[in-house]
Amino acid sequence: MLRVDGLVKHYGDVIALDGCTFAVERGRMLGFLGPNGAGKTTSMRVIFRLVDPDAGSVTWDGGPVGVAVRLRFGYMPEQRGLYPKMKVGDQLVWLARMHGMDAAAAAAATERWLDAFDLADRRTDTVEALSHGNQQRVQLIAALIHDPELLVLDEPFNGLDPIGAETMARVLRERAAAGTAVLFSSHQLDVVEDLCEDVAIINDGRIVLSGDVRELKASSNRRVLEVEAGAGSGDLLDGLDGVLSSAFDGHRHRVVVDAAADVRHVLAAADRDGAVQHLSYSTPSLSELFKEVVA
């Protein structure tokens, strides 16, 4: 398990991290969320000692994270980068060996991953000769090639087309299922909600919400009531007892209510306005939780 504990990092007057604490367990995927500049990239860089924290610690399975331990981690930085003039196969073999694999194992892993990503016929092409999408795939392979115990990806879904995003999601699921601890940052909350068991939301350098996504949603003191009524006349539900906020798009009411509130009077009010055709009562989405803690 990766444990990040009380990280503090100042750049002059700017506070990048202010007691950032979270954990990633083996076999689970943690979505790392936060507005731009909240400290996501800095936290990831601290894990790889690209940045020295002013205070706090990073441990793996309870022990310190030295060079030897880091070799068992995989990293895909936000600033993607490979040697453009080096051949795809050579580059992957080299990076695998930088992670401590021997020449034969590195070559075998390169074959396996290039096959898995349909890039086997591009092995002898230089990286710069590949399309943008294929370069992204090679970048991902570079992070995976040594079967890392911890995988850290900074905005892995950035710039991916839908097929690329699907491949990325599939690979991350497979790795987590195989026992890898996966940590990735994203602004795409629906992707995170779809993929991750755990989430950590960072704002102004500190974690403002973290835990199992389903538990977080269930323990929220809000619920979302969606009501689709016939020819509704407008937003009549705002201000009703137990209603925290309400929106109406001319067709559908979306009402955030207190989890403890009885909502029958809200339904009744909606029904009076126009016959209710569709109704749902659910825990808030990740995006709502996010807005709640980051706003």
Partner 1 sequence: MRPRHEGVLAARTGPAAADGHPPSVNALLLVMQRELVTRLSAGYLVSSAAFLLVLVGVIVVPTMLSGPTTYDVGTVGDGNREVLDTAADRANRDAPADERTSFDVTSLGDADAARRAVADGTVDAVLIDGTEVVVRRASGFGGNDLLDLLQQAAGGRQVERLVPAEALPRVQGALDGRALEVTTLSGQDAGQTEGRSIIAYGGILLTYVLILQYGVWTVSGVAEEKSNRVMEILLSTARPWQLFAGKVIGIAALGLLQFSTTLLAAVVAVRVSGAFELPAIPTDFIGTLVVWVLLGFAMYMVVFGAAGALTSRPEDAQSAMAPISVVVMIGFFGSFAVLRNPDGIMGLIGTFVPFWAPFVVPVRAALGALPVWQGVAAAALSLVTIAGLTVLSARVYRGGSLHLGGRLGWRQALRGADA
Point out which residues bind partner 1 (CB under 8 A): 11, 42, 45, 48, 50-52, 67-68, 70-71, 73, 75, 77, 79-87, 90, 93-95, 97-103, 105, 107, 124, 142
Nearer to partner 1 by C-beta: 101 or 209? 101
Q: Nearest distance from residue 203's CB to partner 1, in Å? A: 21
Minimum Å gap between C-beta 206 and partner 1 is 19
- Cα–Cα distance, 168 to 121 (Å, whole number): 20
By beta-carbon proximity to partner 1, the closer residue of 103 and 177 is: 103
Paired tokens of 261: 């509130």
Instruction: Give min distance, CB of 74 to partner 1, in A.
Output: 9
Q: d(Cα 221, Cα 169) in Å, to the nearest integer?
A: 30
Nearer to partner 1, 96 or 255 (CB): 96
Q: How far is the CB of 20 from partner 1 (least distance, A)?
A: 15
**CA 206, 211, 214 angle in degrees (round to 5)?**
140
Q: Which is nearer to partner 1, 90 or 258 (CB)?
A: 90
Q: Indicate the residue among 36 and 79 with the shorter CB distance to partner 1.
A: 79
CB of 77 to partner 1, least distance (A): 4
Quick one: tokens of 223? 């619920």
